Amino acid sequence: MSRLIRMDRTGHTTVAEWTVDDPASVEAAVAAFREQLESGHLAMVSRGEGHAEHVRELPLDEELVILRRPIAGG
């Protein structure tokens, strides 16, 4: 089971869960993913220690996709 989570004031919230062999869950996850991106979130996939990748499409084969807010210099 893969998860799309959003870092928020609760720590994090699971936005969607899917398995690649369940088209309905994939469709719902993709829709949720796009909705989060439209609301200004950025999606990241951790590639192990020292590595991460910014993704613009939901990577269905990843176990965990993390949504974050943009950062800015203070």
Q: Is 38 in the site for another protein (CB under 8 A)?
A: no
Q: Residue 63 CA to chain centroid, in angstroms?
A: 10
Q: Residue 30 CA to chain centroid, in angstroms?
A: 10
x/- contact string, 44-63, with another protein (CB under 8 A)?
Answer: x-xx-xxxxxx---------
Choose which of 3, 5, 28, 59 interacts with another protein (CB under 8 A).
5
Q: What residues between 9 and 28 interact with another protein by CB under 8 A?
A: 9-12
| Half-sphere exposure in the Cβ direction for 11 (13 Å, CA) | 1
Q: At residue 49, what are phi and psi to the nearest 5 degrees?
A: -55, 130
Choose which of 21, 24, 61, 73 interacts with another protein (CB under 8 A).
73
